Structure 1
Amino acid sequence: MTTPVAWPTLDVLTRDPHPALASIRSTAPLAWVDSLGGWLVVGHAAAVRVMRDAGTFTVDDPRFSTSRVVGPSMLSTDGAEHDRHRQPFVSPFTPRSTRAHFVDFVDTEATRLVAAVAPAGEAEIRTAIAGPLAAACMQRALGLKAIDVGQLLTWYTDIVAAVAAVTSGSGVPEGSRLAYAALTDAVRSTIATAGASSFLGEVAATAGTLTSTELLSDIAVLLFGGIETTEGMITNLVLHLLREGFDPAALLHENDLLDAAIEESLRLEPAAAVVDRYATRDSEIAGVRIRRGELVVVSLAGANRDPAVFEHPDRFDPGRPNLRKQLAFAQGPHVCLGAHLARLETRTAARALLALPGVRLDPARTVEPSGLVFRKSAAVWVRWNRTVP
């Protein structure tokens, strides 16, 4: 192991990691960072290698943050065990299923949310649009119709806070334990009363050897992953588009431009900034020796700004020819299950917001994205011209 370095601190990595990640990347694709207690991978090629090689770099370790919060799940297992957890949930998130079951629902829900705030002439879109839309979609995807969307958002917030706390070296907050217990009780009740024809009933019936506890863990990671990633995607996209001065009319009439902008926003500020892995054996990356048992943190935010792949990486440029090389949804066996749904929600929410007359950013009340694990703006305020009835 190289000599530990105190910089960048957790505070730097939380507030604005990009200059520090660029500094590390200018000398090597990875470095030991003392504040993380492990290796930080910032190069694109190295990040892809680590995420694709689950045999050498695994999530299946008792230190893995999510497993410490919700127990073993598809997010914290590898190999056959990972397949056992993930497979029952694959079907509803395929592109075909997403189109069949979510296009109309997402359009209706996004339209309803925007219409609710339209008379005010302004809104903070993370809490008014992005979060509620993401929660409503996960409520539908998982068949949790009996659970109020507001309650789902509360539980999700507490669970995400626990993952962030564990990653930064703290313990699981008691409030997060209570939130997870309440969520699991609600899901058990839903499975028991909804019957085999419901989504959760079907999953439970085809889950094979998954126990009820394992099933609940998988539902929990899908819930917070589906809400967190999408809420961040929508919020960060609107911030990028309005701050950069893109013409809303052009975005509304050019689907390819909006889709490219979504990919570029994901590249520039991925909602999930890092993913953790643990070395199962001694190995080497770019001449750096990694020893068995060491933590390897893949910085998706760092890899997405690797100048070896993306020219002028700090610039928001939807015209890039290689946008699909961005790694916001990870790669390998743990590639995001709900990526198609997240893109659909983000595109639909953006179109509904951009259709508001004179839509523009309110920079005085908008804050920059932040977060060690999950990066998004806490507040993106948007204003538009109020129409007179």
Structure 2
Amino acid sequence: MTSTTILSKIPAGCPMHQAGERFQPFEHKGMTDFYASVRPEVPIFYAPSIDCWVVTRREDALAVLRDHERFSASNATAPIVPWPEEMHQFLRDQHFTNESVQVACDPPRHTRGRNAAMTFLNMKKFQNYEADVRALARSYINEISNSGKDIVDLVESFTYEYPAKVAFLLLGEKQLDARKLKQWADLRIKLIFGTLTHEQQMEAARDLADFWHFASALVEQRKKKPGDDYPSALLAARAGDDSILTENEVKSLVFGLLLAAHETTTNAAGNLLFELLKRPITWQAIVEDQSLIPNAVEEGLRYATSTIAWRRRAKVDVEIAGVQLPRGSQILLSLTSANRDEKQFADGEIFDIGRSNARSHIAFGNGIHHCLGAPLARMELRILLEELTTAFPKMRLEDEESISFLPTLSFRGPDRLPVRLNR
């Protein structure tokens, strides 16, 4: 039985059918309102525009994320618009040999990759970077202060590059071009989660190849001169043994970090600041009491999730929320909806930095694919707020209506964040 067959047996006027017809997977404006309207009656619905079953409730999303025996992550980064053969051939000619080692793969390969990555990506190691991360944040604030401007774009002047510079610390590099890395990463996200034309895909492919060559060169450098950094740690874990990791898998893990270590944090920072600054009383509360900041970060991650959805594929015939799905079904887990589920979060549509269970969100996923960089992202966001509230306590949002979000399936963050500093 196919998804279409299942859908044909559901009355056309029922809430599940209506949800599928109304769903706009790439439109962020109104998305949370849509989920709030369907979640009470529709825990799952079929979205024909993306050929996915969309899961709206937290308990069901958690069950899928935790069940890697019946659900595969192999489609997590499959391109929404399939890449043309011309693009595949170009990438082959450019020796682009990236493999899915962590985010979009299953055990046992995922286990090997995760075990190797965890030798470096862990809480103890991240704590060693706090002084450097704070120094980075202050450097951006000093540039803003010295600009003499009273109205600035916080995305352009701070949150766009800041997490990328933190990623460079993990790579053992401080002088790399953060803006170039961000441009590469932005294109990669559009290639996977956006709807590019053929011409745009081919243009992005050239940058994708450059991105891969950059990651590969870093690994080659660390083979000759290892240091206290992520590529060196992976090579040390590999110890020349392909059964632990192949050299290409090491390069693929570094390539993955060059996206994962900053893109979602850039968006999370923008989302968090947007929600706080829309509420001057809430902003003033963290200005006056910085002990509120860690929970404000968690509430921001819950309420304005930057990874809005993640995909899985059914390995076998399964049942989700009472609906029988055949093997091979594509599933979209709405983290945005799950993180506002009223069964877990009372008044989930309200932004409340005092929420006692804010940290129960699943913004970083769950199960074996839970984000290894979550502690570092939390640190970056906490330091961001500590330094901004200290430097610009009277800062206010400017021109809220002009802010928009990049139309992608899985990621959400403001393209700009104009503020008045009110020095």
Asked if these proteins are the same fold (TM beyond 0.5), I'd say: yes
Secondary structure in 1 aligned to 2:255?
helix
Deviation for aligned residue 1:313: 1.5
Match of 1:109 in 2: 136
Q: Deviations over 1:78-97 (max 9, x none)?
A: 11110112222213321221
Question: Aligned Cα RMSD in Å?
Answer: 2.6
CA deviations on 1:38-87 (whole Å, 9 max, x unpaired) are: 10001010000010001111112598349989532201111111011222
C-alpha distance in 2 between matches for 1:222 and 1:34: 32
Distance between the aligned counterparts of 1:40 and 1:180, measured in 2? 29
Matched, 1:385 2:419: no
- Structure 2: distance between partners of 1:248 and 1:13: 28
1:38 maps to what in 2?
A: 52
* Secondary structure class of the residue paired with 2:313: strand
State the one-letter code of the partner of 2:315: T
Runs of 4+, deviation exceeding 6 Å: 66-69, 168-172
Contact persistence 1:359–1:383 (CA under 8 A)? yes
Q: Report the alpha carbon displacement of residue 150 of structure 1 after superposing the two structures with TM.
A: 1.9
Normalised to the residue count of structure 1, the TM-score between the two structures is: 0.91
Matched, 1:95 2:123: yes
Q: SS at the partner of 1:289?
A: strand
Structure 1 match to 2:31: 17
Aligned to 2:305, what secondary structure does the other structure show? Answer: coil
Q: Give SS of 1:341's match.
A: helix
Cα displacement string for residues 259-318 of structure 1 (whole angstroms, at most 9, x for unaligned residues): 111111111111000000000000112211111000011000011111111111111011
Cα deviations by residue, 1:122-180 (Å, 9 ceiling, x for unpaired):
221112111211010111112344632222112111111112226x9989812332222
Deviation at 1:249, TM superposition (A): 5.5
Does the alignment pair 1:2 with 2:15? no
Pair 203,71 (structure 1): closer, same or farther in 2 beyond 3 Å = closer
How many pairs are equivalent? 384
Partner of 1:288: 323
Instruction: Give the Cα separation in 1 of the matches to 2:326 and 2:293.
Output: 44
Counterparts of 2:369 and 2:311, CA distance in 1 = 11
Task: Flag the 1:198–1:103 CA change in 2: closer, same or farther, 3 A.
Answer: closer
Q: Structure 1 regions of 5+ residues with no counterpart?
A: none
Distance 1:280 1:294 in 2: 8
Residue 193 (structure 2) pairs with residue 197 (structure 1):
no
Out of 95, 98, 120, the position equivalent to 2:149 is: 120
Counterpart amino acid of 1:42? T
Q: What one-letter code is carried by the residue in structure 2 that aligns with 1:41?
A: V
Q: Partner of 1:123: helix, strand, or coil?
A: strand
The one-letter amino acid paired with 2:417 is V
Distance in 1 of aligned mates of 2:197 and 2:328: 17
Report the counterpart of residue 135 of structure 1 in structure 2.
Answer: 164
CA gap 1:81/1:230 in 2 versus in 1, 3 angstroms: same
For residue 221 of structure 1, report the CA deviation from its aligned partner: 2.1
Q: Retained in 1: the 8 A contact 2:290–2:386?
A: no
Question: 2 CA distance for matches of 1:93 and 1:253?
Answer: 33
Q: Contact 1:57–1:278 (CA<8 Å) still a contact in 2?
A: yes
Compared CA separation, residues 305 and 173, structure 1 to 2 (3 A): same
Residue 156 (structure 1) aligned to one of 177, 185, 195: 185
Task: Name the SS of the counterpart of 1:354 in structure 2.
Answer: helix
Are 2:297 and 1:297 aligned? no
Q: Distance in 2 between matches of 1:56 and 1:211?
A: 27
Distance in 2 (alpha carbons) for counterparts of 1:8 and 1:142: 44
* Whole-Å separation in 1 of the counterparts to 2:106 and 2:197: 24
What one-letter code is carried by the residue in structure 2 that aligns with 1:196?
P
Say which SS state the counterpart of residue 120 (structure 2) adopts: helix
Could you tell me which runs of 5 or more consecutive residues in structure 2 were left unpaired when the two chains were aligned: 1-5, 9-16, 89-97
CA contact (8 A) 1:110 1:349 kept: yes
**1:361 is the counterpart of 2:366:** no
Name the CA distance, whole Å, in 1 between partners of 2:58 and 2:385. Answer: 28
